[in-house]
Structure 1
């Protein structure tokens, strides 16, 4: 609500205006009255207002003198002058002070209403501009503090309709809502106290809104280290056991609902899960993969996203069964990738010809044994690069390579960059997101 101050040395005038004019119709409320200019000036020094309606002739300072001083205290306020004297000099001075309008007593209700409607529109313009700039992160902390100076408490919230003294359309997860800032608690979908540093808390609130809408009634935590939990899931995928993959999806779902990370991280995690499954089984290509990614990204809620992923996996896995020998090879790679592995040794353990086993692996996964082993090792190396401070040489040995130069070559081939560049780039991106 916009704050209105009434100033008149006649008590009946201020009380009459409060009863005569439906200020709330223009989103305004009378917060105080004053009997003279000095009393009014003392009030706005402590409690800035948006609209001042004042008499001209008062004991001591005139209304025009008061306005001239108030301009330094509340430069953005709108001023309406009332007078029982139709004096051109008063009107000319008032216009020089950029007063909103000049009314003769007794005040006409319709005329006053027209002026208040015009003022409401004028006040809303800078507020709307500020709201749009705030949402697009185009306003400094200092500028925002100047704008809200004098307001004792602030609330930030999201609602289906405009509220507060700042409100702007806000698109989130397919919904068109109103993000608002108010100096009082409102009825809203989500709302919390808004305190400095405002820009930091504004970003936190936008994240809160997105996660609240996405996860629904789930209690919110916020663990951003979810990819540390993904390695066991990846090992299950690499084993090629269809039933275990479905069980792993259930585990990931429960884990995410417990951690409730940023929505972008959750979607990225499940896209990675789908891509790893589909790449292993060579199920989707090109445009199909892009379509799957798009649908996950567009999911408005966690349950909607999980339902889509379960449907995609069930449709694929219902008619797919991996060769048992190939599944055994994948299980060995997933479990023992740090060791020195060879297709010949594994084929002997399975009592199968190594050439034939290699052909089966290629047919089932569209990759060679060496390619699958390298993929597993590099995946493990990526995890260690991001979760430890180990040297690249130590990581090379930990994931099963004995030659650092060869490790660099394979890593660059699969990741498009060196291990050092990969670590720096991802760490930098994570720091920017925080």
Structure 2
């Protein structure tokens, strides 16, 4: 395996990890055996060296967001009937799981403004790639146009999916921290199966999709809208309201903690007329022979169920537990609660950007809860990051870490309802250090 991928040893797989984080063999000083009490003491002492996450302020985004998760969510998904439930192949003994997924689909369809939702994908990047494949099946055309303002991870996974297939993948450079629809529209031709944009885009930019919708209609291609923080649609226009044919993205902001980047929840929605090309599962409601309400797998067009050449996806499962967490969260919050979260998230960013010192600039244009801050140089940004870290603030993501070719002086910053006014004041105080 190592020969095939062109490396000489296991260590080469971790070469990008800085050497100061490498652990030498034997350095952990782990005894051959310890009594249970000794093991507990050892790992408790080690855990006490971790930062206290409850005192940390997060301005991180880029696809993973620090939203509040009510205690009820963890309680519900920890119950055995949800935690251990697996594939609902037998509806007569899987009614609870099927109903939870059905309710999840209904709420996701409402929030995105789309006709139908499946019972989830793994995460947003593969959902975006599956949307490109679905659009190729629907239109019987092979070219995929992707805006350069889509999350770099979504772009990379989609390009990888398409790299072994016939057809063309075109990425449109935006030239700035936002979305230039004129450039995207100019890239559409008669062979285009779909155009994929993100809304709000990777940099938090909010814009009108009406011109793109008209261009897609003229070229007879599909408009695919990706998203990273679905809570935005409790405040701004939904993809469905903007005319999306397919809307895909992440459900992590719906009651799922940041963790260390996962697990996430991939969402996939579309117009009703395309439902038979939808990847994954769709749970439906029906009645049994006695007229009682029941739930079933209405569509499950994947390799395990039908001929491989007829399958719409080779993704073999869904994020059932994460779906239950999201459904519990949305039920608890309701329309008003979700709108409150979205308003607070957007207001926090406005408060931060409106008070930036003169030596730090924010990307121009309308933004939801995410933007790019630009410093005079790399050294100034690093001074700020060090000062913020000392005050238990995760101040943002150095943009060059996830966006190739970007100067190392930019910072991707996001706010949620968890960012309070005092956090913003402390953030601004740390910015003064970068002078």
Shorter-normalised TM-score: what interval? under 0.3
Provide the TM-score with structure 1 as the length reference.
0.23
Provide the TM-score with structure 2 as the length reference.
0.23
Larger radius of gyration: 1
Kindly indicate whether structure 1 or structure 2 has the higher relative contact order, using CA contacts under 8 Å at least 6 residues apart.
2
